[in-house]
Amino acid sequence: MAAGSNTRRRRDVAQFVERFADVLVEAGIPRMPARVFVALLVTDSGRLTAAELGERLTVSPAGVSGAVRYLIQLDLVTRERDPGSRRDHYRLRDDVWYEASVRREATLERWRERLQEGLVALGPATPAGRRIAESLAFTVFVEQELPALLGRWQQDKARLVTAALTRRQAAAPATRPP
């Protein structure tokens, strides 16, 4: 029975990887990087080789290459190598969601600067200028609110993670005895 339970768990995890990757794709992340990201997310170590990723996702290691390059550029994944090894491992950054949000602050600053230029170029009296002004106002708002939000996350992280784990255990389907 344990073998059947293990098979079912692997199938459930593989299905989760694909479903969560689909959500990331809907948010604009390319499919293969989304799949690789979630595959790393569901490993206990958060660290796999290209060959291991390829095996888990049933794609060639070469197919993983572009995906990890993309994720490295976004600073979501790092490449590391054990001393004396020629094999690269790809690892999720610690606290990956928080770190991605912190890096978003620099992006928002660049958006604000460019939107300010756009508003000057278009003028505030045009329909396009008003759209740019609204985009600018929203960007400034998010830029001002993000540090407080991230601070609250750091303050409440342990409590929120514990609550999520408790909800998971309460929501887990009851297992049938063998």
CATH number at residue 69: 1.10.10.10
Cα-based distances in Å from 103 to 21, 78, 83, 114, 169: 21, 15, 30, 18, 33
Asked whether residue 51 falls in the same domain as residue 110, the answer is: no
91, 40 Cβ separation under 8 angstroms: yes
Do 59 and 109 fall into the same domain?
no
Q: Who contacts 111 (Cβ-Cβ below 8 Å, separation ≥6)?
A: 139
Number of structural domains (the chain) is 2
114 and 51, same domain (yes or no): no
Residues 81 and 112 in one domain: no
Asked whether the whole model's pTM tops 0.85, one would answer no
| Domain ranges, residue 25 | 2-92
Structure confidence by residue, pLDDT tens digits, 38-84: 999 999 998 999 999 999 999 987 789 999 999 999 889 999 988 88
Verify that 59 and 118 share a domain, yes or no.
Answer: no
Domain termination site, one of 92, 121, 148:
92
Query: Do 87 and 6 share a structural domain?
Result: yes
113 and 58 in one domain?
Answer: no
Rounded to an integer, the average pLDDT of 154-167 is 91
